[in-house]
């Protein structure tokens, strides 16, 4: 197992290097430079040139890339132009906020998705299955940002149950209750679509397993139906559910961008959107590399978890 993990980790290095090249090139090739973004109307060629020099962007691209890569390997991600603070501080702070949001949404969608899928499968074509299928389809069909706006209108503006936006209250303690009240709406809005996807795929995975011989055997030897479903069938179905969870984790993480905009959650997605609009090159590059590294690690973890569950998967 240790050898397998090490091999996967080593294979991540070229992937990450490739990501640095791609994100660097994209930022270098898109039209508009940071100096123009900062100067706006006043971006005369003369002013732009002087500012680019002050920002250290007048060196050849290849040099800029290797300086950036070299600094990053020593843990220095550079300074954000638009926010005037170290890129790494900003990224870590923002990523933490995204993890709280996406993590909560992931727990919600995994729990309710699998639960709904199992119930649906165990009562195939029954009223519960039909009701769940209907709700799930509805959930998959509503764009999360629209759902978010509607929730703000109903629960924050009209009913005033939850605050509209942000992660912490401006006044008062930063305790768990304060966080939860800010987290509830965005986490729910973010989880809805993923819950639907997980529910549908769990349902079909369960149905497939329930048709197999060992389930009949279990029933025949008198295992209670609850045990058959939750202990025997679900465990077997998990092998095909876990990769779906892995994909949905990525989906929740990237879907967080919209939700972060709508709820002004101070996460990494909103940070990247702002940074791209402001041509905040180092912040975009540092942010993307960091998030990509997390994705790669997460994928490795999913693969490892899968091979632990099913020893046949080991390459």
Partner 1 sequence: MRVLDWTRRSVLIAGATTAMSLGLMSSSVAQTPPGVLIVGQIAEPKALDPAAVTAVNDFRILMNVYDGLVRYKDGTLETEPALATGWEISDDGTVYTFTLREGVKFHDGSDFNAEAVKFNFDRMLNEDHPYHNTGPFPLSFFFSSVQEVEAVDDLTVRFTLDAPYAPFLSNLAYPTGLMVSPAAVMEHGADFGRNPSGTGPFTFTEWRSNEAVVVEANPDYWDGAPALQAVVFRPISDANTRTAEMLAGGIDMMVEVPPVALSEFQGDQFNLVEQAGPHVWFLILNAKEGPFADVRVRQAANYAINKEALVNDVLEGTAAVAAGPTPPAFAWAYNDALEPYPYDPDKARALIAEAGAEGAELTFYVTEGGSGMLDPVAMGTAMQADLEAVGFDVTIETYEWNTFLGQVNPGLEGKADMAQMAWMTNDPDTLPYLALRTEAWPDQGGFNSGYYSNAEVDMLLEAARVSTDQAERARLYKQMQEIVREDAPWVFVANWKQNAVTSDRVENFALQPSFFLLLKDVVKN
Interface residues with partner 1 (CB under 8 A) are 30-33, 35-47, 51, 54-55, 82-85, 90, 93-94, 115, 118-119, 122-123, 128, 149, 152-153, 156-157, 160-172, 177-178, 180-181, 184, 224-226, 229, 261-264, 266, 270, 274, 277, 279
- Break the chain down into helix, strand, coil percent, rounded to 5: 80, 0, 20
Number of other CB atoms surrounding residue 244 within 10 Å: 21
Complex with partner 1: residue 90 or 303, whichever CB lies closer: 90
Minimum separation from the CB atom of position 72 to partner 1 (A): 20
- Smallest gap from Cβ 45 to partner 1, in A, equals 6
Query: Which lies closer to partner 1 via its Cβ, residue 80 or residue 303?
Result: 80
Angle, vertex CA 281, rays to CA 277 and CA 23, nearest 5:
100
Measured from the CB atom, the residue of 19 and 102 that comes closer to partner 1 is 102
* Of residues 3 and 172, the one with the C-beta less far from partner 1: 172
Q: Which is nearer to partner 1, 283 or 296 (CB)?
A: 283
CB of 82 to partner 1, least distance (A): 6
> Residue 82 or residue 272: which is nearer to partner 1 going by CB?
82
Apex CA 22: angle with CA 97 and CA 35, to 5°? 75
**Closest separation between CB of residue 252 and partner 1, Å?**
20
Q: Minimum Å distance from CB 8 to partner 1?
A: 35
Nearest Cα to Cα of residue 267 among 176, 188, 194, 165? 165
Question: What does the alpha-carbon distance between residue 258 and residue 180 come to, in Å, rounded to a whole number?
Answer: 20
Residue with Cβ nearer partner 1 (5 or 128): 128
* Residue 303: CB minimum distance to partner 1, A: 31
**Please, are residues 142 and 240 in contact by the beta-carbon 8 Å criterion?**
no
Minimum distance, C-beta of residue 315 to partner 1, in the bound complex (Å): 37
Toward partner 1, which CB reaches closer, 68 or 162? 162
Least distance to partner 1, CB of residue 296, Å: 26
């Amino acid at each position: 197992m240790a050898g397998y993990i090490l091999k996967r980790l080593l294979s991540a290095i070229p992937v990450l290097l490739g990501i640095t090249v791609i994100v660097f090139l994209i930022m270098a090739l898109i039209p508009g430079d940071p100096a123009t973004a900062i100067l706006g109307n006043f971006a005369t060629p003369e002013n732009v040139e002087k500012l680019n020099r002050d920002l250290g962007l007048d060196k050849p691209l290849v040099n800029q890339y290797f300086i950036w890569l070299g600094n990053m390997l020593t843990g220095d991600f550079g300074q954000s132009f638009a926010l005037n603070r170290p890129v790494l501080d900003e990224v870590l702070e923002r990523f933490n906020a995204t993890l709280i949001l996406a993590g909560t949404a992931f727990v919600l969608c995994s729990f309710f998705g699998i639960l709904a899928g199992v119930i649906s499968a165990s009562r195939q074509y029954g009223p519960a299955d039909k009701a769940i299928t209907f709700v799930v389809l509805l959930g998959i069909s509503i764009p999360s940002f629209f759902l978010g706006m509607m929730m703000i209108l109903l629960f924050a503006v009209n009913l005033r149950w939850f605050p509209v936006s942000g992660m912490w209250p401006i006044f008062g303690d930063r305790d768990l209750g304060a966080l939860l009240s800010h987290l509830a709406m965005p986490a729910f809005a973010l989880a809805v679509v993923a819950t639907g996807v997980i529910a549908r795929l769990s349902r079909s995975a369960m149905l497939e397993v329930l048709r197999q011989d060992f389930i009949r055997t279990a029933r025949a030897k008198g295992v209670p139906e609850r045990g058959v479903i939750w202990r025997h069938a679900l465990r077997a179905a998990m092998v095909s559910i876990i990769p779906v969870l892995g994909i949905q984790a990525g989906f929740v993480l990237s879907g967080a961008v919209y939700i972060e905009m709508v709820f002004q959650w101070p996460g990494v997605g909103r940070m990247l959107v702002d940074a791209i609009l402001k041509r905040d090159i180092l912040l975009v590059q540092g942010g993307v590399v960091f998030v990509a590294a997390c994705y790669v690690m997460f994928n490795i973890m999913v693969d490892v978890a899968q091979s632990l569950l099913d020893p046949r998967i080991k390459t």
